[in-house]
Amino acid sequence: MKPIIMQGVSKFVRGKPILNDVNLEVSRGECHGLIGPNGAGKSTTISAIIGRSRIDIGSIFMLGNDMRTNSRFARAKVGVVPQVSCLEHSLSVRENIKLYAAFFGLGGRHIRDRISWLLEKLELTSYADNRISELSGGIKQKISLVRALINNPELLILDEPSSNLDVSGRNSVIDLIKDLKSRGVAILMTSHAMEEIELACDRVSIISGGHVVASGSVGRMLESLGGSVIDIQCQDIEQAAQILRRSAVECFVGPSNIVCINTTFAHVRHALVQSVGVKVTERAASVSDLVAQAHCRMGG
């Protein structure tokens, strides 16, 4: 059975759908990215999966356990890196991780060895005896990740795992994710860092308005955009978008640009030939284009 199976999950708050018929599956050894704009429902989806958010319709199975009735057993085999780390500031790094192991009912030499191994893996050994209050945000983020791995989880849920990390920190997280995937760990992650999603995830689900609007392998979804996109930057984005649509160019408006897909550079330049102050460039399609496209299709 797949580690995560969400079937037709809906959640309503005061009659308004927060999650709307969400279907999601994550296999063993797969890293699945859950992406979308702010307020799209990513965190609510994760809360529902780990049993912290009640659902009104549908079912969620985590590691074969029905989360409505058996969430405790499922959580014992899951690691979670939340957005807010909730580390104990007065305790040392090692004590924090040991304590978290105790919450799982784990202790003894095996856990001490595992802590040392994990700290080494994420280049944190030199911080082992430092108090959390003495450390930077990036180091705390890495410690959250180590903490989530202490119970040797079969499923890892990462909510913005590298939000405070520098480039080298992000790279070590991506390397760790790849290593975990090769060991058969299923990973579900959300991130606003699209390059991280592209590097780490095998498949993505794009969520917008509480609904999964697109799902599939990253490569195949980028191919659906035609491989490359035309990026337009100009003063009056709305007017330029209208001109393009009149010329039958498939485009969607981002916060500061227009992205055209399934078209040619010449066609776009021809459509905008009379517009002033327009910068047109061709570049490779990225996951952020997929998100912007999904958001536009949802009327966002």
Partner 1 sequence: MRYKASFESPAWFAVWYRNYLTWRRGALLHFIGTVADPIVALLGLGIGIGPIVGLVDGQPYISFLAGGLIVTGAMAATNGEMFYGAFTRFYIDQTWSAMLYTRLSVADVLFGEVCWGATRGCAIGVIVYIVSLCFGYVSWHCLFMIVPILIVVCLTFSCISALVVSFAKGYELFLICQSVFFVPLVFTSGAIFPASQMPRAIRWWASMLPLYPSVELMRGALNGAYVPNFMSDVVILASYAVIAFGLALAVLKRRIVS
Q: Which residues bind partner 1 (CB under 8 A)?
A: 50-54, 72-73, 75-76, 78, 80, 82, 84-88, 90-91, 95, 98-108, 148, 151
| Closer CB to partner 1, 88 or 223, in the complex | 88
Q: Considering the complex, what minimum distance in angstroms separates the CB of residue 189 from partner 1?
A: 15
Ramachandran region of residue 26, left (φ > 0), alpha (ψ -120 to 50) or beta?
beta
Which residues is 12 bridged to in the sheet? 17
> 54 or 279: whose CB is closer to partner 1?
54
CB of 139 to partner 1, least distance (A): 17
Number of Cβ atoms within 10 Å of the Cβ of 224: 14
CB closer to partner 1 out of 104 and 267: 104
In degrees, to the nearest 5, what angle opens at C-alpha 43 toward C-alphas 40 and 46? Answer: 125
What minimum distance in Å lies between the beta carbon of 97 and partner 1? 11
Tokens for 78, please give them: 């899951």
Pick 18 or 207: Cβ nearer partner 1: 18
Min dist CB 93 to partner 1, Å, is 12
Helix axes 137-148, 167-182, angle to 10 degrees: 10
Residue 108 or 299: the one with the smaller Cβ distance to partner 1 is 108
H-type helices in 123-253, by residue range?
Answer: 137-148, 167-182, 194-200, 218-223, 237-246
Residue 132 Cβ vs partner 1, minimum distance, rounded to whole Å: 11
Q: Which is nearer to partner 1, 99 or 199 (CB)?
A: 99
- Least distance to partner 1, CB of residue 186, Å: 16
Give the residue from 190, 135, 153 showing the smallest Cα distance to 62.
153
In eight-state DSSP terms, residue 134 is G
* Measured CA angle at 251 (ends 298, 215), to 5 deg: 45
